[in-house]
Amino acid sequence: MLSYIAKKVFRAVLTIWIAVTVTFFLLRLLPADPTLLVIEGDMTPEMQESLRARFGLDKPLHIQYGLYLAQLVSGDLGVSFRQLAPVADIILARLPWTLLLAGSAFLVTLLVGIPLGVHAAVKRGKAVDKVVQFFGTTSNAIFVPSMAILLLVVLGANLALFPIGGSIDPDTRGVAAYLSLFHHLALPLFSLVLVQIGPYALTLRTNMLEVLGEDYIKSARARGLSQRRVVWRHALRNAILPALTLMGLQLGTLVGGAVLTETIFAYPGVGRLIYESVQQLDYPVLQGAFVMLAFTVVVANLLTDMIAMLLNPRIRT
Amino acid sequence: MKQSHARLRVGAALAAAAALLLSSCALNEGESDPAGTAAEGDLTLRIGTTTDVANFNPLQSLSKTDSWILNAMYPHLLRLDENAEKVPELASGYETENDGSTVVFTLRDDFVWSDGEPVTADDVAFSAQAIMDNQLGNVAAKLTWVENIEVRDDVTVAFDLSQPYAPFAEGVGFWMSIVPEHVFSEAGDLTAFANDSDWVGAGAYILESMERGQRYTMRANENYPYAPEGGAAVQTVEYVVYPDINTMLLALKNGDIDLMGNPVPSSALGGLESDPNISVQSVDSLGFAHLTYNVTDETLARVEVRQALSMVVDTESIIATVLQGNGQPMVGPISPVFGEFDNPDLEPYPFDPAAARELLEDNGFTDGDGDGFLDGAQFEMICDQSNANLTRVAEVVRDDAAEAGIKLDLACIERNTFLARTKDGDYQIDLSQWGVFDNPMDQLRSTYLSSNPGGINYNLVQDPELDALVNEAATTLDQEQFVERIQGIDAYVHEQALLTPLYVEQFSFAYRSDRFTGFQPSPSDLLGMVTGYSLSQVTAAE
């Protein structure tokens, strides 16, 4: 079991290293130049050189890479080109918003998606099942920005039920502040959940159908256990395992969705930070954000693997 | 079953609590009590912006959106009025000595830093010296000629130049932010100074607080000398970040903001006209859209080819369709925004693809393979795909050029790649838009001198005659003669067809006219409605 864990951890570290390396070189292979982003093109070659030196872009690529790795290992994410502030501070200031949005989207997705899948499996072929199947396949195909703008126009502008963008009304205090927080969270949360929920519902449905056909379910039924107990305790416990793996995998799309959602809803999270940093070619911030995301996704996958191992002894060997 | 439901509920509650805790530390903490901030009748104006402030150090190169906030906070010697003319701001005036080799600014004595220190000539000298020493941003280029800075007294500062340069005072006066010496001299390395808290300014509005990703709150400076009698009506200016322009439009319609800092896209203007609460103010651009030809290309080096290309560009219909009328045509490289400098005698190249084809055929081009295109008349035209207007222009020009037997291959590419390629001269035809030229002399110098001092001679032209014309104008002090010489260059470049100007865009700024009135806009989207001066003149609508 220890060797299993060690193998998984080693693979996680390797993945993070690859992510760091690919990000580093990808940014530098862009046919673009961060020193050119000024209002006026009026800039002498000397000024450009001095900027390049200040950004550390004047050194050979492999030296830059070596310096960056050394810096990372010592826990330093570097200093932003544009903001001149430590990258770690910049990201940490935005992180709580993304955790709130992506975290609650993740929870709501599970709390709604799993029961939907279970119901669809139990009522196989009935109306519920058809609706879930239709919805499950379309959910993944929704284009987040169009969905987001549609929600804003209809529910925000026309019906005035929700605020247009932002994360909280700065003039609220105490309970009102929390209400304002949730009020602003509702639409971006809804958009994210909508595109996330399909795969969970469908996976759960398929797994449940499989499990419900197993002998031990038949025998449980034969023992006279109630339908509820059979479905929710005996079947779900086994059907949920593959969904665990899905959680780790879906985290990546959750982050991708957050970039778009945060941008359209003017939500101040890390996703939007990435969007802005791409426009400004702020390499250190981009690298820092990607390292952090890679780390999160890899650790989440590691954790789901561990949980799966605890739940399913067969994996251990 | 009951048990599992209960567990689920406990789990959900725990998760919700955890989420709350995570963010509760940021829940409007550190804000003063809202009831205490605003006195009776004080107005708050909320402005939408697409991006966060990246850099708070006004001595460095700034983005447009950074400039909106920082220009309102730090004074400039001169400002640009609604007619694109430089008028006094911190300087009450300037004059030249030694045949133009010394430029002397006289300052007003009533500008005060927000910490109570007066703004003096020492601050001006410090700011200029710091920019020169550290080669900071584009202002360093404006200071190229400075050999010595002399502070004569508290309100007088003199710049000794290596040679007279006609628009020196205007360029430095308009572009250079003046910073408080007593703050910035304590900051250490100014190339690394973030200046992101405890701001000390002397402009119309001073930044007071910010929540990155969300809003930037500025308070009126009660000592700002240009505020109306009794102080500015707008006491608080709040910039709110909406990365998506469509979201910002909705926020304006809903009344969440009062003004859009970014111009409204032409395509969205129709939707605003019907709204009785919203008005749109038009402002000229200080730049212009153009086709620029790389003359190091063998074919494009021939003037007849460039002239033929100029004849396949239908500016009139481009302005009518792509800009929906929100723009004006121009002839030659000098924009009509600069009034007297724009040569009135220039005739535009007619839009006439047939004549263009004839011109090329007269100069030896033939369609040998019968594909409808003249052999050798094939060019790659690059453009910035983030500029929606220009990507549409590209298609219009390509189709019209085809009628003249010219094959244009479009390469509308990602903005940063586009910038890098233009910088490297890696293109044949460059379809792009100049952002801000504040005076024609700087523009001609940067775009046409062989020595390419500003790095934006995108023609890569090396023409001794043109060099001589530009250098002669640059040292001309007599205004009438100066205007004449600029007009002469305008005509020369037009005849050479080094570029085909497309249009001077009109930016449309939308605001809540049911709440506010009295903006004093200046040309360009760099200044627009949001200069400190403009905001300080705003009052509540009736």
Which pLDDT belongs to residue A88?
Answer: 92
Helix (H) or strand (E) holding B205: strand B205-211
Q: Which residue of B has its CA nearest to A96?
A: B23
Q: Identify all chain A residues contacting B290, using CB atoms and an 8 Å cutoff.
A: none
pLDDT mean across residues, chain A:
86
**What 3-state DSSP class applies to B281?**
strand
Can you give the pLDDT at residue B3? 46
CA distance A74 to A68: 10
Chain B residue numbers with beta carbons less than 8 Å from the beta carbon of A258 are none
pTM for the model stands at 0.86
Q: Is B425 exposed, middle or buried (0-12, 13-18, 19+ CB in 10 A)?
A: middle
Are B318 and B503 within 8 A, CB to CB?
A: yes
Mean pLDDT over A200-220 rounds to 87
How close is the nearest chain A Cα to the Cα of B405, in Å?
32
pLDDT on residue B1 = 40
Predicted local confidence at residue B2, as pLDDT: 43
What was the pLDDT predicted at B37?
Answer: 45
Q: Give me B191's structure tokens.
A: 């190339």
Q: What is the pLDDT of residue B38?
A: 46
Per-residue pLDDT at B41: 64
Query: Are residues B536 and B229 in contact, defined by beta-carbon separation less than 8 angstroms?
Result: no
Q: Which of A289, A292, A265, A267 is nearest to A278 (CA)?
A: A289
For B353-366, the pLDDT digits (tens) are: 999 999 999 999 99
Min CA distance, A7 vs chain B (Å)? 31
CB contact under 8 A, A273 and B526: no
- Cβ–Cβ of A82/B61 closer than 8 Å? no
Where do we find the tokens 């994360």? Answer: A167
d(CA B144, CA B129): 12
Provide the pLDDT for residue A315: 64
Q: In whole angstroms, what is the distance from residue B226 CA to residue B272 CA?
A: 32
* pLDDT at residue number A33: 77
DSSP of B28-70: STTPPPHHHHPPTT-EEEEEEESS------TTS---HHHHHHH
Q: How far is the C-alpha of B422 from the C-alpha of B413, rounded, in Å?
A: 11
Q: Which residues of A touch B196 (CB under 8 A)?
A: 83-85
Note the pLDDT tens digit of each residue in B112-153. Answer: 999 999 999 999 999 999 999 988 877 888 898 999 999 999
b/e burial code for range A163-192 (CB count within 10 A of at least 16 → b): bbbbbbbbebeeeebbebbebbbebbbbbb
Q: Least CB-CB distance to B52: which of A79, A156, A276? A: A276
Question: Between β-strands B86-88 and B102-107, what pairing exists: parallel, antiparallel or unpaired?
Answer: unpaired
The DSSP element (H or E) to which B381 belongs, if any, is: strand B378-384
Pick among A164, A236, A267, A278 to test the B interface (most B CBs inside 10 A): A164
Residue A275 has pLDDT above 60, yes or no: yes
Residues 6 or more apart in contact with residue B305 via CB below 8 angstroms: B299, B360, B363, B377
Q: Which residues contact B309 (CB under 8 A, 6 or more apart)?
A: B291, B293, B356, B401, B406, B429, B497, B500
User: For a pLDDT cut of 90, what percent of chain B falls above it?
Assistant: 74
Identify any residues that bridge with B95 across adjacent strands, giving them in sequence order: B104
Average pLDDT over residues A235-249: 80
**CB atoms B193 and A90 under 8 Å:** no
- pLDDT for the residue numbered A226: 84
Size of interface A-B (CB pairs under 8 A): 207
> A235-239, B114-118, B252-256: which has the minimum mean pLDDT?
A235-239
Cα distance from N-terminal residue to C-terminal residue, chain A: 7
pLDDT in tens, A41-51: 566 677 778 77
Partner-chain residue, chosen from B19, B54, B140, that has the shortest CB–CB distance to A103 = B19
Q: Give the pLDDT of residue A316.
A: 57
Q: How confident is the model at residue B233 (pLDDT cuts 50, 70, 90)?
A: very high
Establish whether this prediction's ipTM goes over 0.85.
Answer: no
Q: Which residues of B touch A229 (CB under 8 A)?
A: 1
Instruction: Give the span between the Cα atoms of A269 and A293, in whole angstroms.
Output: 13
> Which three-class secondary structure state does DSSP give residue B517?
strand
Query: Which helix (H) or strand (E) element contains residue B504?
Result: strand B499-512
Chain A: residue whose CA lies nearest to B14:
A107
> Distance from B75 to chain A by nearest Cα, in Å?
19
The SS3 of residue B433 is: strand
DSSP B175-197: HPBP--HHHHTTSS-TTS----S
Compute the distance between CA of residue A291 and CA of residue A16 in angstroms, rounded to an integer. 7
| Cα–Cα distance for residue pair B285/B387, rounded to 1 Å | 15
Q: Are B65 and A276 in contact (CB under 8 A)?
A: no
Dist. CA B224–CA B237, nearest whole Å: 15
Cβ(B441)–Cβ(B486) below 8 Å: yes
Axis crossing angle, helix A127-139 with helix A174-212, rounded to the nearest 10: 110
Report pLDDT digits (tens) over B395-430: 999 999 999 999 999 999 988 888 888 888 899 999
- Residue B514 φ then ψ, to 5°: -75, -15
Task: List the single range of B96-105, B210-219, B262-271, B513-522 with lowest mean pLDDT.
Answer: B262-271
pLDDT level of residue B440 (50, 70, 90 thresholds): very high
pLDDT at B5 over 90: no
Q: Which amino acid is at B103?
A: V
Other C-beta atoms closer than 10 Å to the C-beta of A236 total 21
Token reading at B101: 């080799």
Mean pLDDT within B2-16: 51
List Cβ neighbours of A131 (8 Å cut-off, separation of 6 or more).
none
Residue B526 pLDDT > 50, yes or no?
yes
Confidence of residue B30 (pLDDT cuts 50, 70, 90): low
